[in-house]
Amino acid sequence: MKDTIIIKIDAENIDGKLIEKCAEILREGGIVAFPTETVYGLGADALNSGAVKRIFEAKGRPPDNPLIIHVSKTADILPLVKEIPENAYKVMEKFWPGPLTLIFKKSNIVPRETSGGLSTVAIRMPDHPIAIKLIEKSGAPIAAPSANISGKLSPTKAEHVIEDLMGKADVIIAGGDCDVGVESTVLDMTGEVPVILRPGVVSRETLEKVLGRVLVNSLAESLDKTKGKPDTMNTKHIHYSPKAKMMIIQGGLDSMVAKINELKNRYGKENKKVGIICTDETRGSYEKDTEEIIIKSLGSRKHPETIAANLFKILREFDKTDVEIILCESINDTEIGQAIMDRLKKAASTIV
């Protein structure tokens, strides 16, 4: 156990001295958790293999799971990559800073620890004033995976990071809640046609408007492809496991509600404590919260961006209860809905 310093920074009125102190810790090879617009990240100097190793140790992350490098300006990617394809400039111009990570062929200065042993490297520019200032002041590209214990839910609030990394990180910057709430879209730019390796709020539809054809690597396909290979598709390792067994129920709204109520009664008879994850549109179709049942709404289906922002927070709230089974509604699998369903499926053990 180490002494972790918690430093509170107001994103709207950033204290330069505090950022400088955190940047100095990064320059000296320390690990610092900081907010981004997607989720909190646990950062280290991406070019310092010793510092990067400490991220893997703190998270308990398998060494073949590559990290995303965060930069504060586009020019900073030049030393990190072998080449920049023409269409990569187009998406960087349009979506950076923002929740889009691009995969490039890596240059030799990126240590194998950072890229998980791959010949490619993942880079993005976050859209968060604290993250940008911190990277800028550190003077280094910052490798940062999500600031949670490996296999657990990604953190969208400072308190989530404190729960997971107290005694493990050097510093936790408490800088408010993350707006987006799901991790960045990961887009592989190394092939002829760009491929989405992980869906995020920058959707395939939105990317296709800029790039033309974009492929999506489905979860099932990538599971097959990554067998025995590095986890380039983000699927080989365990993700987002909530404590309770989670079931996703698919179908139209009415049939989903009916199925969830039926399952709830069945598990209730077995004396299992049940939780329900629903939406504002269906909340009234379930009973009230009781000792036996906890019901939480993700928000309105009309605002998928709110659902994305609430997702990990609500799953973490269930981890604090003694619920054994979570019955979760599914969301329309379009645009942002794809990122939401990807995370729900990774968290669930069954889909019915």
Contact residues toward ligand AMP (CB under 6 A) are 65-66, 68, 103, 115, 118, 120-122, 145-146, 183, 186, 197-198, 232, 234
| Smallest gap from residue 296 Cβ to ligand AMP (A) | 24
Pick one of Mg ion, ligand AMP, none as the site partner of residue 186 (Cβ within 5 to 8 A by kind). Answer: ligand AMP
Q: How far is CA 107 from the centre of its chain?
A: 25
Residue 146 binds Mg ion (CB under 5 A): yes
Q: Assess whether the previous peptide bond of 97 is cis (omega < 30° from 0).
A: yes
CB closer to ligand AMP, 115 vs 279: 115
CB closer to ligand AMP, 22 vs 123: 123
| Smallest gap from residue 140 Cβ to ligand AMP (A) | 18
DSSP letter string, 166-202: TTTSSEEEE----SS-SPPEEEE-SSSS-EEEE--SS
Pick one of ligand AMP, Mg ion, none as the site partner of residue 47 (Cβ within 5 to 8 A by kind). Answer: none
**CA 53 to CA 46: how far, in whole Å?**
10
CB closer to ligand AMP, 54 vs 198: 198
| Smallest gap from residue 84 Cβ to ligand AMP (A) | 15
For 2-28, letters b (16+ CB in 10 Å) and e give: eebeebebeeeebeeebbeebbebbee
Nearest to 37 by CA among 316, 305, 293, 325: 305
CB closer to Mg ion, 41 vs 141: 41
Pick one of ligand AMP, Mg ion, none as the site partner of residue 118 (Cβ within 5 to 8 A by kind). Answer: ligand AMP
Residue 101 binds Mg ion (CB under 5 A): no
| Helical segments of the chain, H only | 16-27, 49-59, 86-95, 129-138, 158-165, 204-211, 219-226, 253-269, 304-319, 336-347
CB closer to ligand AMP, 183 vs 342: 183
* Phi and psi torsions of 216, nearest 5°: -120, 130
CB closer to ligand AMP, 329 vs 342: 342
Contact status, residue 103 vs residue 30, Cβ threshold 8 Å: no
> Among the candidate windows 146-154, 162-170, 260-268, 270-278, which touches Mg ion by CB under 5 A?
146-154
**CA 59 to CA 80: how far, in whole Å?**
24
CB closer to Mg ion, 146 vs 282: 146
Mutual angle of helices 204-211 and 86-95, in 10-degree steps? 130
Residue 234 binds Mg ion (CB under 5 A): no
Pick one of Mg ion, ligand AMP, none as the site partner of residue 114 (Cβ within 5 to 8 A by kind). Answer: none
| Smallest gap from residue 67 Cβ to Mg ion (A) | 9
| Smallest gap from residue 231 Cβ to ligand AMP (A) | 6
**CA 182 to CA 118: how far, in whole Å?**
24
Pick one of Mg ion, ligand AMP, none as the site partner of residue 198 (Cβ within 5 to 8 A by kind). Answer: ligand AMP
| Smallest gap from residue 256 Cβ to ligand AMP (A) | 29
Shortest Cβ contact with Mg ion: which residue?
Answer: 146
> Among the candidate windows 120-128, 139-147, 211-219, 327-335, which touches Mg ion by CB under 5 A?
139-147
**CA 264 to CA 331: how far, in whole Å?**
19
Question: CA 196, 336, 323 angle in degrees (round to 5)?
Answer: 105
| Smallest gap from residue 120 Cβ to ligand AMP (A) | 4
Residues paired with residue 33 on neighbouring β-strands, in sequence order: 42, 172
| Smallest gap from residue 266 Cβ to ligand AMP (A) | 35
**CA 300 to CA 263: how far, in whole Å?**
23
CB closer to Mg ion, 146 vs 310: 146
- Residues forming contacts to Mg ion in the complex (CB under 5 A) are 146
